[in-house]
Amino acid sequence: SGAASRVSALPCCGAWCCSPAGRGRKGVCGAVASPPAPRPPVSPARPWSFPVPQLARLDNGLRVISYDTPGQHVASLRWAIAAPIAGEPRQIEGVGAMLARTLDEGPASHSSQQLAELLERKGVALSAVATERGLILHLDVPVRHLAPALDLLREVLVEPDFPTAAVDRHRQTWLAEIC
């Protein structure tokens, strides 16, 4: 009992092991709580403004808006394709959303599994969404892998493959989400 009173006189670390949930008795672990570290000084914020967009038009007519952000290691690219869901013919309503859902099923030259592995090896995130304004493609990639990522994206866009099994799987998932 003398040892217990000496232990309980020591300050507690306050850790979970000493709490009732940790089955310990608060204040009797014998560990000494260390004083909090001093806070580092906070410097005033440096002035910042959003980069000025650079506008260009490619030979194929594609309008490009780019932002120079030195020091960034990930390139984030977005493509907006003017194909609004409101413009879909009634008899094929939802085709834009289905296109967005199945676009990553792979180009004709790769299966969906092969495409996923190729994208993953290069750290590429590829997605698409159909919106009121059109189809939006998203590509995030480490800058050092930008060229191969753009090659894969070109394959996906120019040589798309929409296997019946994949379309059916996405249709069933979509119907389940609606219900």
Q: In this structure, which long-range contacts are made by residues 116-119, counting pairs with CB atoms below 8 Å and at least 24 apart in sequence?
A: 118/152, 119/149, 119/152
Q: Give the chain's count of helices (H) and strands (E).
A: 5, 5
From the centroid of its chain, how far is CA 164?
Answer: 28
Q: In this structure, which long-range contacts are made by residues 171-177, counting pairs with CB atoms below 8 Å and at least 24 apart in sequence?
A: 171/98, 174/94, 174/97, 174/98, 174/101
The whole-number pLDDT of residue 16 equals: 52
pTM above threshold 0.75? no
With contact defined as beta carbons under 8 Å apart, do 148 and 98 qualify?
Answer: no
The whole-number pLDDT of residue 136 equals: 92
Higher pLDDT, 76 or 29: 76
18-40 pLDDT, tens digit each:
555 555 555 555 555 567 889 99
Give the residue from 171, 22, 179 showing the smallest Cα distance to 97.
Answer: 171
Distance CA 49, CA 30 (A): 53
Minimum mean pLDDT range among 6-20, 73-87, 160-174? 6-20
Binned at pLDDT 50, 70 and 90, residue 7 comes out as very low
With contact defined as beta carbons under 8 Å apart, do 128 and 139 qualify?
Answer: no
What average pLDDT does range 153-174 have in this prediction? 86
Per the document, the length of the chain is: 179
